[in-house]
Structure 1
Amino acid sequence: MVDILWYEYRLLGSANTPVVFNENGDAPGRYDIFQYQITNRSTTEYRVIGTWTNKLYLNVDSMRWRRGDSSLPSSVCSVPCRTGERKKVVKGVPCCWHCERCEGYHYQASEFTCELCPYEMRPDANRTGCVPIPIVKLEWHSPWAVIPVFVSMLGIVATSFVVVTFVRYNDTPIVRASGREMSYVLLTGIFLCYAITFLMIAAPDVGVCSFRRIFLGLGMCFSYAALLTKTNRIHRIFERGKKSVTAPRFISPASQLAITFSLISVQLLGVFVWFAVDPPHTVVDYGEQRTQDPASARGVLKCDISDLSLICSLGYSILLMVTCTVYAIKTRGVPETFNEAKPIGFTMYTTCIVWLAFIPIFFGTSQSAERMYIQTTTLTVSLSLSASVSLGLLYMPKVYVILLHPEQNVPKRKRSFKLPPCQASLARREATAPTER
């Protein structure tokens, strides 16, 4: 009887807990589970959050995780990837992966791959597909367009005012002495230089692109062909006066017009060849504003005119401008009787400065995301400035005298007697009867 009672005592154990053994005769372990926690007083300590006695007992409410959250974290190797992310499988652990976002112009093509969108498209907001890149063009309300348009409108108004004044006082000495026929040709070129601004800003289509090709260099060609013919005429007159008393050939108004339009025809011939080789059309340039951030990427609608084609279109006019400047330098010492020589010289010097400033600005911004806006503004403002220089230096002084000092609008004969016979005769023609030239 005593032995049986002792056996039962030993089964309860010293802590009055049941004593059991496994199949190997070993007693199971008993453990307290601690968690290292930060208390409200910002101190740290180990706290019991559960026990193990043959199975796990946890007090979940006593557990603390990072950031003080008491909710249980997911016990998984990898969480599902979000939309727009691909799974990059961990080598050797096929059930685990890292999530990588599809960057740049890539979109999520499948669970494990990202693919590049077509060139004219960009990823959508979720990066699960591609959408077309928005197409933009230079708008009339853009600051890049407002300034050139404003300058151009002022120039057109001023040019129209000069033309009306010259037509109204067409038979007065100042208008006659300036060479009426060549003056109207030059004023036409000035008007076209201002008007091209509206074509450069207008929405590109086949018609607009065609007119751009025609008129882009035509205004400058009209202007500098007329000025070149004038300066060449003055140069030939004084060179002939050093050798002979006879007047040089081709100095009459009809001859001057023929020479001027011959020079202009070369520009038109080049444009027609350009039309035949490469018909005008529009193109959407997706590379010009293809930024690192696809959300700001834009396609630029424009005429298919390359920088080389633009230079070729303006190149002939620039050649005329440079040649005219050379003749302006050669005729800088002519007598004041030939009152157009010096204003033409100042006009050409200033114009050369304008276009020398244009070249680095135009080509220096070829890599800019705002390339189209900067180059269009630079080109149109340069054309308007060169036209304004010609209008201001060659015509505004004449208009000032015609309207405000009509007493000075009389023939000038002084100093002609100091010239050699040929030059004196031609000077008298300049001052009194320019229509006979």
Structure 2
Amino acid sequence: MITLYFFFKTQESCCNHQQYYRTERGYKYPLYHPKLGLEEVVSKDPHIKCRICDPLPILHKYYQSGDVIIAGIMSHIYRFSNSITFRKCPSNDLFDDTLYFIPRWTYQASLELFSTQDRFIPNYKCGSINNPVAVIGGPTYDVCFHMATILSMYKISQFIYGSAPVINKKTKTVLYHQMFPDVDHQYKGILQVLLHFRWMWIGLLSAHDDNVERFVNTVVPMYAQRGICFDFMLRIPRMSYTNDFDEIVNEGIETNNIILRSTVNVMIIHGEIDTMVVLRTFPRYSEVMGIAKDKVWIMTSQMDFTSVSFEREWHIDFLHGAISLAVHSKEVLGFQQFLLMRNPTLEEEYSVTRAFWEKAFECSFMNSMVDSQDGKICSGEEKLESLPASVFETSMTGHSYSVYNAVYVVAHALHAMYSSRSKHRATADIGSMKDLSKQLWKLNHFVKSISFNNSAGEKMSFNENGEIAAGFDIINWVTFPNQSFHRVKVGKIDPMAPQEEVFNICEEAIMWPRRFNQAQPLSLCNDNCLLGYHKAKKEQKPFCCYDCIPCPEGKISNWTDMDDCFQCPQDHYPNMEQDSCIPKNVSFLSYEEPLGIALTSSALSFSLITTLVLWTFIKHRDTPIVKANNRNLTYALLISLLLSFLCALLFIGRPEKETCLLRQTAFGIIFSVAVSCVLAKTIIVVLAFMVTKPGSSMKKWVGKQQATSIVLSCSFIQATLCSLWLATSPPFPDFDVQSMNTEIVLECNEGSVTMFYCVLGYMGLLATVSFTVAFLARKLPDSFNEAKFITFSMLVFCSVWLSFVPTYLSTKGKYTVAVEIFSILASSAGLLGCIFSPKCYIIVGKPELNNREQLRRRTN
């Protein structure tokens, strides 16, 4: 049979008569007065002193003998006490004002385990039968820490079900078993909750212990790396001898006011089971009862609901909608029935059950020390199920589940320890219990290696750090007007599960604080930056506080709260809202679009006109006006102009490898031929005039050979430049993704820009020479002198191509091609119109002027 031996720590004291003495003439006399109370005796005799005596006894204990004893040290009952002034002996009037914790109670409870029953003499115990094999402690950090300080010296197994204290792992970890999972899993779980609901602007309210220091120093930076920052980090008022109740209340009010002024909607409450007592005073004593209605509380699993008697009637609305983590638990079959069958009349007198019964039902038993003359008498038949959950819960909490499992862990470890003995000792009698008491340290080894399924069907085992291999439940607190509440499991954190299943939560099952009207709360320092905006840090503010700046032109942001905007891929462009990238359309000057149609029509029209002019000149080839100024040059010029107009068509349509090779080179050579013909015509005019002078020696320079030589030599130079261009860096089809924001321009890359401008430059040189010569010869006396018309044509030609260079450089995309086509058409049309329109007018409109007589008359 396994028996539990529990110490329930309280702040209660008493002194018996042997603790008082009277000093006379240097001797001490024990004092006893049968009629007067001890305090009255003390007050009447100034010589009476109080000596340092046995420690004040722990008020509530429970012991039941058995084959195996498991001890428990728990802090579940809170009492009030004045500060000790050492002006009088301790007595029951000590307890009336301030709530506090004294580590000495834990030390005393730990040492009593190794004292004779009902006598506090540490390390002296009659017999070893009643020595505990293990100790279960909790739920507060202080209880666990101070218990470990004493019990580790005795090498006894310790099972902690509350906050795990920071211990010397080299000496204590082998004795120290935590029924509480790795706290890092809890902190990561809280982080997952915050990230899941996008709560980036939070506050922290914490108790005073080393675990909080670890949270602040380790976890807060980890949260910051995920974009979460804290508006405040406050401490819950500490209860100790150094402050009185009014001081605690004032400190609590100040803390509450800081929270109320904050813009955060979510707070992490990092505390323990006794933290709830203090939290319940916040709305009660604050001038503005807002803390319960304005914030979503996220509570750590070390916390649980508890209260003192005077808080019984206080509202618990502050818990509605709160989210907490709890050590994973399952309802144990028969647990509620076991609780509801408790009967204080069958329990030992003044047991913890009776003490609880009197507080819960606000009554007293007839044999109780409590004065019940005007109060309600406890019958023992009161129903526990009638109590609200704020007074008594009948469901198994995480702490209860941990204690339950701890007992079974000890049982399985003992079984494994006995099973490992030799067969001839496995059937030993009860005397083997004496051997067990001498080998308790061996039990720790078996605890580390056990693995079993409890009665709820869950596997129990420990990891290498002595922590129970378990996870956490995510609890949503729902309160009711009758001071009751319900814990709703809305998710879980299972570190042993696959990565994608470690965190799980059901949003639809969560009840939010009433202020939010069942809408998911937001907790941000400012509104999220929308798509198309990026964050800009606010000076002297936490990084969670920022301004939202529109993305610069050409950049986008497609997520909320982006740190910076980014460029779209080269084949995409930003939309108007700058929140997404749109694929660019492939663009080129096509025959189907209006601009392409217009340029194509112009090129074909001018080609037709040129063809008609050529046909006219061929038809009237024997007339004087056609023969003048070298008929072959005229044909060559008209053919080159025809090809120039048709060359423009190479620039329209989808660029291909062949068209890219021909575009510029064909244009350059053809135009060079045309300008060379014009230059030759001009030179012929000058030479012809010079030949007509008496005694001129220029006759040998006048002839068809000279004109042909001029055209071929000038064109050969341009052809050489184009050949060199094609041989070194020829044009090729390319995509221009930079020029246009919304289009990918399919173009002909010129290859060598230098060669391109060399071709244009040479053509410009020929045009300049032609213009100069024609300008000088414009007034020569000749009836069919073309010099003046060539001057006008070259003026048009040079003006067009001088304008072409800046226009070409300033336009983008397909309009660059359109500019070059326009320049080709305009300059060619200028040559055609200025040189041939007067002659066509005479040939067609004034044929009477096209004869030798008219030529001679005009010459004379």
Q: Which residue of the partner structure matches residue 358 of structure 1?
A: 804
* Structure 1 residue 351, shift from structure 2 partner: 2.4
Asked if the contact 2:775/2:787 (under 8 Å) is kept, the reply is no
Asked if the contact 1:31/1:53 (under 8 Å) is kept, the reply is no
Q: Residues of 2 paired with 1:127 and 1:178: CA distance?
A: 65
The secondary structure found in structure 2 opposite 1:138 is coil
TM-score where L is the length of structure 1 = 0.68
Matched, 1:395 2:847: no
Q: Residues of 2 paired with 1:205 and 1:169: CA distance?
A: 41
Deviations 1:201-239 (A, max 9, x none): 221111001111321222321211001111112223444
Q: Residues of 1 paired with 2:691 and 2:518: CA distance?
A: 105
Q: Which residue of the partner structure matches residue 589 of structure 2?
A: 138
Q: Residues of 2 paired with 1:118 and 1:30: CA distance?
A: 57
**Matches of residues 226-305 of structure 1 in structure 2 within 5 Å?**
226-239=677-690, 244-289=695-740, 291=741, 296=742, 298-305=743-750
Asked if the contact 1:122/1:133 (under 8 Å) is kept, the reply is yes
Q: Which residue of the partner structure matches residue 55 of structure 1?
A: 316
User: Which moved further from structure 2: 206-215 or 277-286?
Assistant: 277-286
Matched, 1:406 2:844: no
Give the residue type in structure 2 aligned to 1:299: I
Give the residue type in structure 2 aligned to 1:348: M
Q: Residues of 1 paired with 2:566 and 2:786: CA distance?
A: 64
Q: Residues of 2 paired with 1:135 and 1:287: CA distance?
A: 13
Q: Residues of 1 paired with 2:827 and 2:529: CA distance?
A: 62
User: Which moved further from structure 2: 336-345 or 72-81?
Assistant: 72-81
TM-score where L is the length of structure 2 = 0.37
* Structure 1 residue 174, shift from structure 2 partner: 2.3
Q: Residues of 2 paired with 1:82 and 1:372: CA distance?
A: 33
The secondary structure found in structure 2 opposite 1:53 is coil
Asked if the contact 1:121/1:130 (under 8 Å) is kept, the reply is no
Deviations 1:293-316 (A, max 9, x none): xxx3x3222111165443222211
**Matches of residues 27-38 of structure 1 in structure 2 within 5 Å?**
29=284
Q: Residues of 2 paired with 1:285 and 1:235: CA distance?
A: 49
Instruction: Label 1:252 to 1:54 Cα distance change in 2 as closer, same or farther (>3 A).
Output: same
Asked if the contact 2:644/2:671 (under 8 Å) is kept, the reply is yes
**Matches of residues 62-77 of structure 1 in structure 2 within 5 Å?**
72=519, 74=521, 76-77=523-524
* Structure 1 residue 132, shift from structure 2 partner: 6.6
Q: Which residue of the partner structure matches residue 788 of structure 2?
A: 342
**Matches of residues 374-389 of structure 1 in structure 2 within 5 Å?**
374-389=815-830
The secondary structure found in structure 1 opposite 2:736 is strand
The secondary structure found in structure 1 opposite 2:856 is coil
* Structure 1 residue 414, shift from structure 2 partner: 2.2
Matched, 1:332 2:774: no
Q: Residues of 2 paired with 1:30 and 1:118: CA distance?
A: 57
Q: Residues of 2 paired with 1:344 and 1:335: CA distance?
A: 15
Deviations 1:226-260 (A, max 9, x none): 01111112223444656833443332123312321
Matched, 1:172 2:623: yes
Q: Residues of 1 paired with 2:736 and 2:723: CA distance?
A: 25
Which of 810, 813, 830 is equivalent to 1:372?
813
Deviations 1:249-300 (A, max 9, x none): 33212331232122111111111111111133222122212x4xxxx3x322
Q: Residues of 2 paired with 1:188 and 1:254: CA distance?
A: 19
Instruction: Label 1:280 to 1:349 Cα distance change in 2 as closer, same or farther (>3 A).
Output: closer
**Matches of residues 194-233 of structure 1 in structure 2 within 5 Å?**
194-233=645-684
The secondary structure found in structure 2 opposite 1:174 is helix
The runs of 5 or more residues in structure 2 that have no matched partner are 1-77, 82-95, 98-244, 246-280, 291-312, 321-480, 482-510
* Structure 1 residue 336, shift from structure 2 partner: 2.5
Instruction: Label 1:127 to 1:231 Cα distance change in 2 as closer, same or farther (>3 A).
Output: closer
* Structure 1 residue 96, shift from structure 2 partner: 6.2
Deviations 1:24-74 (A, max 9, x none): 757973789779xxxxxxxxxxxxxxxx93422789999878xxxx55451
Asked if the contact 1:216/1:314 (under 8 Å) is kept, the reply is no
Instruction: Label 1:95 to 1:348 Cα distance change in 2 as closer, same or farther (>3 A).
Output: closer
Q: Residues of 1 paired with 2:804 and 2:701: CA distance?
A: 35
Q: Which has the higher contact order (CA 8 A, sep 6+)?
A: 1
* Structure 1 residue 139, shift from structure 2 partner: 2.4
Q: Residues of 2 paired with 1:239 and 1:405: CA distance?
A: 29
Give the residue type in structure 1 aligned to 2:682: T
Q: Which residue of the partner structure matches residue 768 of structure 2?
A: 322
The secondary structure found in structure 2 opposite 1:283 is strand
Give the residue type in structure 2 aligned to 1:167: I
Give the residue type in structure 2 aligned to 1:165: T
User: Which moved further from structure 2: 232-241 or 252-261?
Assistant: 232-241
Instruction: Label 1:229 to 1:157 Cα distance change in 2 as closer, same or farther (>3 A).
Output: same
Instruction: Label 1:53 to 1:31 Cα distance change in 2 as closer, same or farther (>3 A).
Output: farther
User: Which moved further from structure 2: 238-247 or 78-87?
Assistant: 78-87
Matched, 1:154 2:605: yes
Q: Which residue of the partner structure matches residue 47 of structure 1?
A: none
Asked if the contact 2:589/2:818 (under 8 Å) is kept, the reply is no
Deviations 1:384-434 (A, max 9, x none): 11211221122222223323333332224425875xxxxxxxxxxxxxxxx
* Structure 1 residue 98, shift from structure 2 partner: 7.3
Instruction: Label 1:31 to 1:309 Cα distance change in 2 as closer, same or farther (>3 A).
Output: same
* Structure 1 residue 115, shift from structure 2 partner: 9.3
User: Which moved further from structure 2: 378-387 or 262-271?
Assistant: 378-387
Identity of aligned pairs, percent? Answer: 23
Q: Residues of 1 paired with 2:543 and 2:769: CA distance?
A: 78
Give the residue type in structure 2 aligned to 1:185: A
Q: Which residue of the partner structure matches residue 313 of structure 1?
A: 759
Q: Which residue of the partner structure matches residue 43 of structure 1?
A: none
Asked if the contact 1:107/1:123 (under 8 Å) is kept, the reply is no
Q: Residues of 1 paired with 2:611 and 2:653: CA distance?
A: 22
Q: Residues of 2 paired with 1:351 and 1:87: CA distance?
A: 56
Q: Residues of 2 paired with 1:326 and 1:53: CA distance?
A: 108
Q: Which has the larger radius of gyration?
A: 2
Q: Which residue of the partner structure matches residue 39 of structure 1?
A: none
Q: Residues of 1 paired with 2:662 and 2:520: CA distance?
A: 69
The secondary structure found in structure 2 opposite 1:388 is helix
Give the residue type in structure 2 aligned to 1:55: I
Matched, 1:120 2:570: yes
Asked if the contact 2:645/2:828 (under 8 Å) is kept, the reply is yes
Deviations 1:116-161 (A, max 9, x none): 6786344899999988754322222334433322322221111011
Give the residue type in structure 1 aligned to 2:842: V
Deviations 1:165-216 (A, max 9, x none): 1222222222222422001111122112212221112211110011113212
Q: Residues of 2 paired with 1:88 and 1:262: CA distance?
A: 67
Instruction: Label 1:373 to 1:181 Cα distance change in 2 as closer, same or farther (>3 A).
Output: same
